[in-house]
Structures are given as C-alpha cells and as structure tokens.
C-alpha cells in the first residue's frame, strides 16, 4: 500500500473521532425539562411565556445539564470569574460553571467542571 492512502485513512478516522466527541454531549439533550429545548446541539430556554421571561439557573440543573453541553443563553444569575488554567468563565447559582466560546458566529457557553 502507498503511504498516501494510509495517511488518508488515518486522517478520516481522526475526523470521525472528533465528530463523535463533539456530538456526544448533545445526545444528552433528549432528557431536557419542558422549559428547555435543543437546537443544533445547543440548549435554549423557551421564551415568551410570562413565567420564563428571565432565564435563571434552576435548582436541579445538574440533573439535566452535564459537562460538555452547550447553552445558548447565559442565565441571569451568572457572574464572571476566572481561575488558573480554566481562564475566563461564569459561575451561576447551583454550582453551574460556563465557559464562553464561539460557535456558528455566536457566543455560546460550554458547561465545565469548576471544582
């Protein structure tokens, strides 16, 4: 076999592995509560309802939001923080930690462990 074909196969396997890793957190979005929905692997709150005009971190957030998931809206109760190698991130009520990143030309927030 030629070296070029091996390089091509290794490259494709690496791309597929990265794709699986990037999609994996989105698969947990199926078990979201009624006030949240997933669009393109990013979690958003339902808006327009008088009971959900302001998005705040719910008390049971750790039951359905896991590290690696993306949130499209920063909850109102989050405050800016930074620490060591984590860099800039937000700490919200109920121990939710979010790190901003760019995705599809918008700022989204990745759920991180901030112990």
Overall size of the chain counted in residues: 115
For residues 60 and 18, the model is more confident at 60
Task: Supply the pLDDT for residue 27.
Answer: 40
Give 17-36 pLDDT, tens digit per residue.
554 445 445 445 567 888 89
Taking all residues of the chain, what is their mean pLDDT, rounded to a whole number?
A: 78
**What is the Cα–Cα distance from 93 to 91, expressed in whole angstroms?**
7
Q: Which residue has the tokens 């405050």?
A: 79
How crowded is the C-beta side of 48, counted as CA atoms within 13 Å?
3
What does the block give as tokens for 47? 């808006």
Instruction: Single out the residue of 58, 65, 66, 115 nearest to residue 89, CA to CA.
Output: 115
Output the pTM of the full model. Answer: 0.67
């Amino acid at each position: 076999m030629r070296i070029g074909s091996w390089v091509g196969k290794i490259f494709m396997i690496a791309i597929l592995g990265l794709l699986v890793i990037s999609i994996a957190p989105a698969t947990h979005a199926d078990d979201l509560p009624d006030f949240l929905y997933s669009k393109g692997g990013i979690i958003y709150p339902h808006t327009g309802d008088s009971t959900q005009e302001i998005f705040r971190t719910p008390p049971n957030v750790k039951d359905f939001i896991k590290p690696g998931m993306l949130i499209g809206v920063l909850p109102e109760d989050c405050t800016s923080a930074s620490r060591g190698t984590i860099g800039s991130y937000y700490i919200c009520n109920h121990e939710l930690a979010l790190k901003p990143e760019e995705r599809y030309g918008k700022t989204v927030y990745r759920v991180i462990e901030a112990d």
